[in-house]
Amino acid sequence: MLKLYNDLSNRKETFQPLRAGTVRMYVCGMTVYDLCHLGHARVMVVFDVVYRYLQASGYEVSYIRNITDIDDKIINRANEKGVPFSELTEEFIHAMHQDADALGVLRPTDEPKATQHMEEILAMITRLIENGHAYTADNGDVYYDVRSFSDYGKLSGKSVEDLRAGARVEPGDAKRDPLDFALWKGAKPDEPAWDSPWGRGRPGWHIECSAMSTKALGDSFDIHGGGADLTFPHHENEIAQSEGATGHPFVKYWMHNGFVRINDEKMSKSLGNFFTVREILEHYRAEEVRYFILTSHYRSPLNYDTEHLDNARAALTRFYTAMRGIPEAPAAGGENYVSRFRDAMDDDFNTPEALAVLFDLAREINRLKDNDVSAAASLAAVLRELGGMLGILRDDPEDYLRGGTQAGDDTLSGEKIEAMIQARIDARTEKNWAEADRIRDDLQAAGIILEDGPQGTTWRRG
């Protein structure tokens, strides 16, 4: 039985969806003004695994991951580049999809955009005003009245009094309380704007997610996810808005993945340790990046360094080597491994423990390969099936082992390597051991590892 850690209750709970057999899940997606970085990759991979595993557990899953396509950062970047904001966002939505596809991230059920939900945003703001949770300021802005919502702080555990003591109203703000936040911003020169009952303007960031999630999944749904940095104020504000507008509990289970650190330091552009997904993929395969993300529990910090990526490459090499040269067969046997894998995943999606089970399974496949190929083939299919729940081991073993770090970086083609191996075989047949050793050394220097066995010589890239 699946148990997950609920950030709303701060404890692990048995998962019971609001509607039997179905799961409705919303995850805060990207604000599309730049390329995806490693933090975005973690969010996408973490909740892709949740999506895959819920489906594999028999649930019908509606998975919504929004796209924020209007906010201050988007407007500023579009102005810097001298392009319409919609042109900028379409460029980076396309880039996001390319990166997600490379990482093996399944497309969500839907990816709503904020700009396509102005009707729902305006309707929710209107209800908040009618319910006494929002007010219109003299400058045309509309603010949420935090004092009106007695449960404010229930997700983050923050005290309203403490927050207020440390806050201040910025010059020019028309809000009544420093904790109040904007639902609608009056139009400014040279900014995109939409008509509203309060004058032309655009929505605040927080209201966008409340409007999109409730439109897609209803007033109450099962899981809301995102990065830990969104817990406060974004998700706290979503609760206040949604429950203030509908009068119903917003989300049953809140999940947040941990922060990404680079060599044990916080990732930030100012520190010069900020990596986009594409920069990392210049040196490592996408599957290696995905595997690396799964080696830490989703709620724990993820520390990026090249050693961890190298370890991910070595681990995948072990899995693909175990499956190499084995005929395809239906998945059968391995009940103990399947049970242990599911126990790990049912324990709050414990992917490190699930990967440890896969290592044990690969070890058993290697033990069986030489004397019971049929049993090994059945277990290899189990390994691939379980790996598929994590979004790994999707490649052909030969393609992976011979494929190089990434496309375009190979110094030796497969044909050249095969020719050198044949030359080494010829040298050994002629008992020219020095030449055979020289060829092997040349291949090793090029990162090519030879493996001599009963069936001949195979090779892989190191």
- Indicate whether 66 and 175 sit together in one domain: yes
Q: Is 247 left (phi over 0), alpha (psi -120 to 50) or beta?
A: left
Integer-rounded Cα Rg, in Å, for the chain is 26
- Indicate whether 245 and 381 sit together in one domain: no
Binding site annotation covers 431? no
Distances, alpha carbon 257 to alpha carbons 246, 297, 444, in Å: 28, 9, 40
- Indicate whether 41 and 154 sit together in one domain: yes
- Please report which confidence band the pLDDT of residue 171 belongs to, taking 50, 70 and 90 as the band edges: low
**Side chain identity at residue 379, one-letter code:** L
Binding site annotation covers 36? no
pLDDT more than 90, % of the chain? 78
Binding site annotation covers 94? no
| Residue 267, domain member (yes or no) | no
Tens digits of residue pLDDT in 234-277: 999 999 999 999 999 999 999 999 999 988 887 776 677 788 99
Total domains present in the chain: 3
Token pair for 367: 């033990």
- Indicate whether 12 and 97 sit together in one domain: yes
Nearest alpha-carbon partner for 184 in 167, 213, 205, 170 = 205
- Indicate whether 330 and 425 sit together in one domain: no
Nearest alpha-carbon partner for 20 in 65, 49, 52, 58 = 58
- Indicate whether 251 and 360 sit together in one domain: no
- Indicate whether 171 and 30 sit together in one domain: yes
Q: Give me the CATH number covering residue 223.
A: 3.40.50.620
- Indicate whether 423 and 340 sit together in one domain: no
Q: What is the residue-averaged pLDDT of the chain?
A: 92
CA distance 273 to 289: 17
| Residue 268, domain member (yes or no) | no
Those residues with Cβ within 8 angstroms of residue 55's Cβ, 6 or more apart along the chain or in another chain? 61
Single residue among 205, 229, 261 that ends a domain in this structure? 261
| Residue 452, domain member (yes or no) | yes
- Indicate whether 153 and 250 sit together in one domain: yes
Q: Give me the CATH number covering residue 300.
A: 1.20.120.640
Residue 442: count of CB within 10 angstroms of its CB: 13
Single residue among 354, 375, 402 that ends a domain in this structure? 402
| Residue 272, domain member (yes or no) | no
Binding site annotation covers 209? yes
Range of the domain at 442: 414-461
| Residue 407, domain member (yes or no) | no
Q: What is the pLDDT of residue 169?
A: 64
Q: Is the pLDDT of residue 414 over 90?
A: no
| Residue 27, domain member (yes or no) | yes
Burial zone of 290 (CB within 10 Å; 0-12 exposed, 13-18 middle, 19+ buried): buried
| Residue 273, domain member (yes or no) | no
| Residue 266, domain member (yes or no) | no
- Indicate whether 11 and 109 sit together in one domain: yes
- Please report which confidence band the pLDDT of residue 150 belongs to, taking 50, 70 and 90 as the band edges: very high
Token pair for 375: 């049993």
Q: What is the pLDDT of residue 462?
A: 66
Q: Is the pLDDT of residue 445 over 80?
A: no
Q: Identify the residue with better confidence: 173 or 161.
A: 161
- Indicate whether 84 and 138 sit together in one domain: yes
DSSP secondary structure letter of residue 455: T
Q: What is the pLDDT of residue 25?
A: 98
Q: Is the pLDDT of residue 415 over 90?
A: no
Q: What is the pLDDT of residue 409?
A: 47
Binding site annotation covers 28? yes
- Indicate whether 128 and 244 sit together in one domain: yes
What pTM was computed for the model? 0.88
